[in-house]
């Protein structure tokens, strides 16, 4: 499965990449900004995405989420908060707590595979 990871914390991005590789997903693209994510999507489609909701400097991954929703690509939000800002305009999607455990990641991705 080709997976896009949008995470602005380098250590968390590396951990997610390692965990995804451990789960057998070797085509992982990790980026830190909305612009990088949109460029990555322009270059190559993905099967799923993990989006850190808050990307620092009052930036969110909402533009990426909207693009993925438009393209019909499933995604999960990653957040250290219990809920997302209801006024953010973010499309609904499941949310995984940060840092996400390997088991939670496995379970979340298995729901995508089963739905496919």
- What does residue 46 show for φ and ψ, rounded to 5 degrees? -125, 160
Domain count, the chain: 1
Query: Which band of pLDDT confidence, cut at 50, 70 and 90, is reported for residue 115?
Result: low
Task: Please give the average per-residue pLDDT across 48-67, as a whole number.
Answer: 93
Of residues 99 and 28, which shows the higher confidence score?
A: 28
The whole-model pTM stands at 0.92
Least confident interval from 42-56, 82-96, 99-113: 82-96
**Domain, as residue range, for 87:** 2-115
What's the confidence (pLDDT) of residue 67?
97
The set of residues, in sequence order, having a beta carbon less than 8 Å from that of 52 and lying 6+ positions away, is 6, 7, 8, 9, 12, 61, 77, 78, 79, 98
Task: Please give the average per-residue pLDDT across 62-68, as a whole number.
Answer: 97
């Amino acid at each position: 499965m080709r997976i896009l990871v949008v995470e602005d914390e380098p250590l968390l991005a590396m951990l997610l990449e390692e965990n995804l590789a451990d789960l057998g997903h070797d085509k992982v693209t990790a980026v830190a900004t909305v612009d990088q994510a949109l460029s990555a999507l322009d270059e190559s489609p993905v099967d799923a995405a993990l989006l850190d909701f808050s990307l620092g400097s009052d930036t969110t991954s909402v533009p990426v989420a909207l693009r993925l929703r438009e393209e019909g690509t499933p995604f999960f939000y990653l957040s250290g908060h219990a809920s997302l800002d209801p006024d953010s305009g973010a499309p609904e999607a499941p949310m995984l707590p940060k840092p996400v455990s390997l088991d939670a990641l496995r379970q979340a991705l298995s729901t995508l595979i089963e739905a496919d």
